[in-house]
Amino acid sequence: MSVSLRVRLMAGTALAVGLVIAATGAFLYTLARAYLRAGFDAELKEDVRALAALVELQERGIVAELDAQTMPQLRPGGHSEFVQVWAAGRTVIYRSPSLGISDLPRVTGPLDTPTVRSGRLPDGRRGRLVGITFLPRADHPERWKAPLPQEREEATLVLGRETGEIGAALARLRALVVAIAAGAIIASAALLALVVRRGLRPVNGLAAEIAGVGEDRLPARIEQGGVPAELMPVVGRLNDLLARLGAAFERERAFSAAVAHELRTPLAGLRATLEVALSKERDPAAYRAALADCLGICSPMETMVNNLLALARADAGQLQLLSEPVGLDELLRECWRHFAARAEERRLRVEWDVDPAAAIETDRCCLRLILQNLLDNAVTYADPGGLVQVQASLGGNVAVLTVANTGSRLAPEQAGHVFERFWRGEAARSDTGTHCGLGLSLCEKLAQALGGSIAVESAPGGLFTARLRLRGAEWTPDAPCGRNQRG
């Protein structure tokens, strides 16, 4: 099932916007969490330093002067804090009443940069633990009976505090971010729907304009004014396509008119001959003469119909080609026998330059049609008493066959038109019904089907030359002569 461009654009842009908004919300949430935790840890470090100031070195040893009466947060309860102090040798010298008989993890760190980490508090709540190791200050050493020890004993103090307030604040922030992100995505989707709908208006207009193009409007052009830059290449290609379609329809109309014109004259001649023959009783010789005239009129009509059928098959790619060894001299002379009498009648001189042993692998029937049309064209349009040249050369796997005649009436720039169907150099079309201008068109199609090419050259008053190039495996009498079918 195809998906519309509008749905694709909306889905893609909504997904992209949603990802951006979600990533932005996650980033802001991460920053806020880091900011809150940094503030909480800074306060926790200040508090642990303040508590460390209450741990003193007295004459009897290290004493923690922490009083739960003046520090209610150290009492057992819902929002208790936990404090534990160790002397050297891991001797516990103080536990806050909130700890009971439990212990805190012994976290150590310098006084200026206390160590902070997350962990579980003794009552099961999640919290943060901060610990420092320090030298307690001596309390009035001048009053001591013994002198102050030179090597003083270190103490370790750990403070634990729950992070429930931060968790609650982060939960509220998380809900707020999700709500804002969801609202932004919904609003963006609505705006995107509007923007995409407005942005696709040129596409809808283009589709409507294309739908309005019919056969009667060809060749037509789609106006490019107001079309977005992204659609300009599409509009340009569509205009090219419409131009080609218009040219194809024009060629079809011209083709139909040309076929009707070519058939009208011989059919009129055939009808006239038959009407005259039937207008009164005649002797058998007169009837035979009329039938001979009709047969003469039907022959070029049959040739034209056969050429049209061959062209239609070539255009549709329905030619069945059989590859076999073909002797060039033998096939050329076979084709020439059909035109020898007419060439002699027109007093044409024939120059023959073909190697009798030259042969290639190709389709005999297609090559015969090409050679028959080339020879017919040369004999027909050569000047009376002129020259016809037939040449064939073979090099490697390329055969070059040339048929030329004198008396050309075409300018060099007109030579390329000979491959257009029903085109003839004589504007008056004096030979209508005899030569309809399909022969060289058929030659070009058949040459392409054989994997070759054909080109013509013309010099006014000089030679008209048709040169056929074919690619095919060079064949010698000693070579195997299997047959290949090509479709």
Report pLDDT digits (tens) over 178-221: 999 889 888 888 888 888 777 777 777 777 777 777 666 666 67
CA distance 118 to 160: 9
Q: How many CB atoms lie within 10 A of CB 468?
A: 23
Q: How many CB atoms lie within 10 A of CB 257?
A: 11
Rounded average pLDDT over 161-187: 89
Phi-psi region of 437 (alpha: psi -120 to 50; beta: other; left: phi over 0): left
Q: What is the DSSP string of 402-427?
A: EEEES-----GGGGGGGGSTT--S-T
Nearest to 128 by CA among 150, 148, 105, 110: 105
Contacts of residue 29, defined as CB under 8 A and 6 or more positions apart, other chains included, come to: 170, 173, 174, 177
Residue 310 contacts residue 365 (beta carbons within 8 Å)? no
Checking if the pLDDT of 428 tops 50, the result is: no
Higher pLDDT, 436 or 364: 364
**b/e sequence 183-200, b meaning 16+ C-beta within 10 Å:** ebbeebbeebeeebeeeb
Domain ranges of the chain: 5-143+151-170, 229-312, 322-480
Rounded average pLDDT over 127-144: 85
What local confidence, expressed as pLDDT, does residue 294 receive? 87
Rounded average pLDDT over 387-397: 86
Architecture of domain 229-312 in this structure: Orthogonal Bundle (1.10)
Please give the sequence-ordered ranges of beta strands (E in DSSP) within 276-356, or none if there are none: 321-327, 349-354
For residues 363, 368, 373, 374, the Cα torsion angle rounded to the nearest 10 degrees is: 90
Nearest to 82 by CA among 95, 93, 67, 101: 95
Write out the CATH class of domain 322-480.
alpha beta
Residue with tokens 């309005």: 212
What local confidence, expressed as pLDDT, does residue 132 receive? 93
Alpha-carbon dihedral sign for residues 462, 415, 411, 251:
positive
Checking if the pLDDT of 436 tops 70, the result is: no
- The angle that helices 232-278 and 201-211 make with each other, rounded to 10 degrees, is 0
Q: What percentage of the chain reaches a pLDDT higher than 90?
A: 19
What local confidence, expressed as pLDDT, does residue 381 receive? 86
Alpha-carbon dihedral sign for residues 229, 230, 235, 236:
positive
CA distance 213 to 200: 20
Q: Binning pLDDT at 50, 70 and 90, where does residue 405 land?
A: very high
What local confidence, expressed as pLDDT, does residue 286 receive? 86
Residue 362 contacts residue 400 (beta carbons within 8 Å)? no
Checking if the pLDDT of 130 tops 90, the result is: yes
Please write the tens of the pLDDT for every residue from 443-482: 887 888 888 888 888 877 788 889 898 876 554 444 433 3
What local confidence, expressed as pLDDT, does residue 486 receive? 40
Q: Binning pLDDT at 50, 70 and 90, where does residue 247 land?
A: confident
Residue 222 contacts residue 393 (beta carbons within 8 Å)? no
Rounded average pLDDT over 99-106: 89
Chain centroid to CA 223: how far? 26
Please write the tens of the pLDDT for every residue from 21-33: 889 989 999 999 9
What local confidence, expressed as pLDDT, does residue 133 receive? 92
Phi, psi (rounded to 5 degrees) for 154? -85, 155
Q: What is the mean pLDDT of the chain?
A: 80
Q: Binning pLDDT at 50, 70 and 90, where does residue 279 land?
A: confident
Phi, psi (rounded to 5 degrees) for 39? -65, -40
In which element (H, E) is residue 87 found?
strand 82-87
Ranges 43-47, 118-122, 236-240, 385-389: which has the least confidence: 236-240
Distances (CA, A) of 398 to 319, 320, 368, 394: 22, 22, 17, 6
Rounded average pLDDT over 346-363: 88
Length of the chain: 487
Q: Binning pLDDT at 50, 70 and 90, where does residue 336 land?
A: very high
Q: How many CB atoms lie within 10 A of CB 422?
A: 17
Q: Binning pLDDT at 50, 70 and 90, where does residue 312 land?
A: low
Residue with tokens 């840890």: 41
- Report residue 348 as tokens: 């044409």
CA distance 177 to 142: 61
Residue 472 contacts residue 362 (beta carbons within 8 Å)? yes
What local confidence, expressed as pLDDT, does residue 427 receive? 43
SS3 361: strand
